[in-house]
């Protein structure tokens, strides 16, 4: 079994069931001080005709001003679909999404995140601000380019899994089904694990 194809199938089923977590993942990195850091991000599907079987590639979009940018070479992602009771853990390398594709997909973002991307040029992500009301005021007074385009700091990274674990909690016998796939060079090797 190709676990990436399985992930896309489970995700499609979660989307069809209006799963509130179908578009999200928890992304874990290791910070500059060596401490683990986890944040929730939108997990995107990027169509890439070069991919085998035409399956979409997984990607996250972030702003280069974010402290997490420096820690994004290797990441772990967790996706949980409550409607299916299925969890995926993905250990991934990363590769940049082309600037043209990032800027094209950036146009699909809601209005507030677009403004925030431009605001980060004045105040980098995670920097302190005196109050929420000051933040709202500064974002509201922000001079935006016309036409509105992605800022130079908008980035995207493909997540390239080299290990995937799937935990299915929805088993009739009550014993969870846990499997791990590892891709040492080519192809996937599957191992059934004690849950």
**Which element (helix H / strand E) includes 41?**
strand 36-42
d(CA 52, CA 191): 23
pTM metric for this prediction:
0.88
Q: In terms of pLDDT, which residue wins out, 186 or 104?
A: 104
Domains detected in the chain: 3-108+152-193 (2.30.110.10)
86 DSSP 8-state letter:
E
Cis peptide before 33 (omega within 30 of 0): no
Residues 24-62 pLDDT 10s: 999 999 877 888 999 999 999 887 655 555 678 999 998
CA distance 62 to 64: 6
- What would the two tokens of residue 43 be? 């997990």
* pLDDT one-digit tens code per residue, 74-94: 899 999 999 999 999 999 999
pLDDT digits (tens, 9 = 90+) for 117-130: 999 988 988 899 99
How far is it, in rounded angstroms, from Cα 1 to Cα 4?
Answer: 9
44-46 and 36-42 as β-strands: parallel, antiparallel, unpaired?
Answer: unpaired
Share of the chain above pLDDT 90, in %: 72
């Amino acid at each position: 079994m190709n676990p990436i194809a399985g992930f896309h199938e489970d995700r499609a089923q979660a989307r069809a069931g209006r799963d509130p977590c179908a578009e999200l993942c928890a992304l874990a990195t290791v910070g500059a001080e060596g401490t683990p850091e986890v944040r929730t991000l939108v997990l995107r599907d990027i169509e890439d005709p070069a991919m085998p079987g035409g399956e979409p590639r997984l990607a996250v979009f972030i702003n280069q001003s974010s402290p997490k940018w420096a820690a994004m070479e290797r990441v772990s992602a967790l996706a949980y679909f409550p409607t299916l009771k299925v969890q995926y853990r993905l250990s991934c390398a990363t590769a940049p999404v082309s600037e043209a594709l990032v800027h094209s997909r950036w146009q699909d973002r809601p209005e507030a995140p677009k403004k925030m991307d431009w605001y980060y040029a004045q105040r980098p992500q995670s920097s302190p601000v005196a109050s929420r009301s000051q933040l709202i005021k500064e974002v509201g007074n922000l001079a935006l380019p016309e036409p509105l385009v992605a800022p130079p700091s908008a980035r995207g990274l493909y997540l390239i899994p080299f290990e995937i674990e799937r935990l299915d909690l929805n088993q009739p016998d009550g014993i969870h089904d846990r499997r791990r796939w590892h891709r040492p060079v080519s192809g996937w090797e599957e191992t059934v694990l004690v849950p």
